Amino acid sequence: MTFPSTENYSYLKLSSKKILAGVKAVIFDFDGVFTDNRVSYLNGRQVKTRSYYDGQGVSLLRAIGIKVAIITGEKGISASLAKETVKIWNDLPSTKKNGSSQWPKVELFCGYYSKDKVTVASKWLNKLKIKPEECLVMGDDLVDLPLLKLANFKAVPISGEKTTRDLADFVSRRPGGSGAVRDLVNLILEVKGVDPYSLPLS
């Protein structure tokens, strides 16, 4: 099965472009989206890797005022990379800046699976007064299906399971942990007509 490249967005349906143009919040799973879904062990410690391309993508979303949340089933030591990553993002100068240019914090919810992800997401969106149809979700596996179905626009890394790819409005060119998030962000900026060169980087 082949997927369209994010370098050409013309395949998107007009209805999908309208949804993207109105997106106010993005919810991500973590493992399989920000990582390649593999775990290694070094001196008894779990080791996972992520891409700085994706981290920059999150910054670009925040720079245009889009709220970002990560909802993962991982907890404890398994959620260490997610916790560390979100802390780094929330410690950036643009997050701490006072005034209208302050970036919204990235929210992290750990230890939630399947339908529980929907409950957490709904509460978060309700707190922000954002409708589900104004939210985009990116996930990669069966446990993300209920959350993906909550959103009007569903995105999946090309490395995600076929069950999720078949449901997706957008499948990234790059795999999870290697730029999948950035592919999605590039698409959002393109549809919203935002020049990435005009945005602050941190």
The model's pLDDT over 105-143, given as tens digits with 9 standing for 90+, comes to 999 999 999 999 999 999 999 999 999 999 999 999 999
Instruction: Using DSSP, state whether 123 is helix, strand or coil.
Output: helix
What stretches in the chain show pLDDT beneath 50?
Answer: 1-10
Q: Residue 147's pLDDT is what?
A: 95
Report yes or no: 95 and 102 within 8 Å, Cβ to Cβ.
yes
- Dihedral angle of Cα 25, 111, 147, 131, to the nearest 10 degrees: -40
Fold of 20-195: Rossmann fold (3.40.50)
DSSP state of 50: -
pLDDT of the residue at 32: 95
Phi then psi dihedrals of residue 71, to 5 deg: -120, 115
* Angle (nearest 5°) at CA 50 between 30 and 193: 75
